[in-house]
Amino acid sequence: MIFTDTHASCIIYYHRSILLAFKVEARERHMDYYTLVFGSILVLAILCNIIEKICSKGSKKLPPGPSPWPIIGNLHLLGAKPHVSLANLAKKHGPIMSLKLGQITTVVISSSTIAKQVLKTQDQAFSSRFVPNALQAHNHYKFSVGWLPVCPQWRTLRRILNINIFSPNRLDANQHLRSQKVKELIAYCDKFSQQGEALDVGQVAFKTNLNLLSNTLFSKDLADPFSDSKIELKEVIWGVMAEVGKPNLVDFFPILEKIDLQGIRRRAIIHFGKLFKLFDGLINERLEEKRRSGFTEKSDVLEMFLNIIEKNPEDIDHNHIKSMFLDLFGGGTDTTTSTLEWAMTELLKQPEIIKKAQVELAEIIGKGKPIEEVDVSRLPYLQCIIKETLRMHPPVPLLVPRKVEQDVELCDYIIPKGSQVLVNVWMIGRDFTFWKDPLVFKPERFLSLDLDTRGQDFELIPFGAGRRICPGLPLASRMIPVMLGSLLNSFNWKLEAGIEPEELDMEEKFGITLAKARPLRAIPSPL
């Protein structure tokens, strides 16, 4: 391997980054700076040695991709919006592309055809997860249905979730809870309507989803401050999602795992600990109620999980319950909130679409009347709006990373054991070869396209597909249209402070979900 001046500059740049990180560690831990400098040089030497070995082995017929730099590989190409950067790279290198992100070989899929191959045809070979280092906090990844590999334990947990939360019967039984929370959402917005004030659409949607889930799980609202710490639950959940979604050097350089240079795992441990403390309190409170009374009238998810532990303790324990609750709060609030906020943003950018939706709602439901879940099937234009939102703004633009446990052949290439696999559904939803005017928000396109989001049509897979499809899809499919339809059928909406629709900020903020960079603030007014 030959090092050029550019390579040398790259090494110096990365070395300085390590030194800066160690300085922070030194200040925080009051450790000897020169000891840490020596440690950084040692780490750098090890990294260089690893890169030398990797570069000398050949590519095992890897998919095409950009040439990696020493040490950092292609990390410098990701930028602040990796889904966009990877989409641009795919235009040059093709729909199946390999990159070196630090020490990690990463394969990026950018077409619906190859996505189908990975997520359906060869689903078993690509079913393991590439686990971010932050999820080692409290060993969450060892108990989480979202992050466990496909194994007997994963199948048991997935079955428990499907039967007790996401089955049609359970969703029907809890419909009254969702209806009540939507009514509370409308009542909250009505206060702003009467005062002519703008509200934060994302925050309102988040609180609604949070209380919906907490009532489903625990039969109580949890959007209030913790009684002991005075920290709101939503802030802790946002903290968890932020830490898991941050680019982490340890994920690209596992050799740095013990150091935790950016402190991400340390902060994740704090956030996870607060949530698990809350869940422990709720579990113990329920167990005490059962001990005192001998029975309980509650029929929520916590009660069902505790009954499963009592009858089949070999299936799950309290660690599994707490990790499932964490996954449900994280995935069930962030993704739904993001989708609703993007939908309202796109509608306010094109007010004529709001008018079309309101006409449909008035004709089918009645102007100003509440929307129930059974009504959604009679509202095709509302469904088109949601599909178009998910096409342009998929909640998880690269899906949850997958990992291959053995060498896998894909499209005449070899994906090496241990590789990370990303599916860029953001790019697939903007593929010019399939979608007409893909950069234009046009719900009408779905009136003539028989596509849905349930993982069978690979041109539109915002929730993934195959055995690792998002388990919360059935709930999201019910909740999002009712929330959005209710907001549109109850109020007119305009942007605050005289902002014109064409001036609306559409910047994205990449994380574990694709959120708006700046919150949407809008003013509701009586219809």
The DSSP annotation for 127-143 comes to -EE---GGGGGGGGGGT
Radius of gyration of the chain (CA): 24
* Residue 55, annotated as binding a ligand: no
Query: How many angstroms separate the CA atoms of 148 and 166, rounded?
Result: 19
Instruction: Tell me if 477 sits within 8 A of 171, measured CB to CB.
Output: no
Q: Is 355 helix (H, G, I), strand (E, B) or coil?
A: helix
Q: Is 462 helix (H, G, I), strand (E, B) or coil?
A: coil
| Sheet of strand 491-495: strand arrangement | 199-200, 521-526, 491-495
Instruction: Tell me if 524 sits within 8 A of 193, measured CB to CB.
Output: yes
Instruction: Tell me if 170 sits within 8 A of 303, measured CB to CB.
Output: no
Query: How many angstroms separate the CA atoms of 342 and 508, rounded?
Result: 10
Q: What single letter denotes the amino acid at residue 75?
A: L
Q: Cβ-count burial of 507 within 10 angstroms (0-12 exposed, 13-18 middle, 19+ buried)?
A: exposed
Stated as kind and residue range, the H or E segment containing 101 is: strand 96-101
Query: How many angstroms separate the CA atoms of 285 and 29, rounded?
Result: 38
Query: How many angstroms separate the CA atoms of 1 and 71, rounded?
Result: 13
- Phi, psi (rounded to 5 degrees) for 518: -125, 130
| Residues annotated in a binding site | 470
| Residues annotated in a binding site for heme | 470
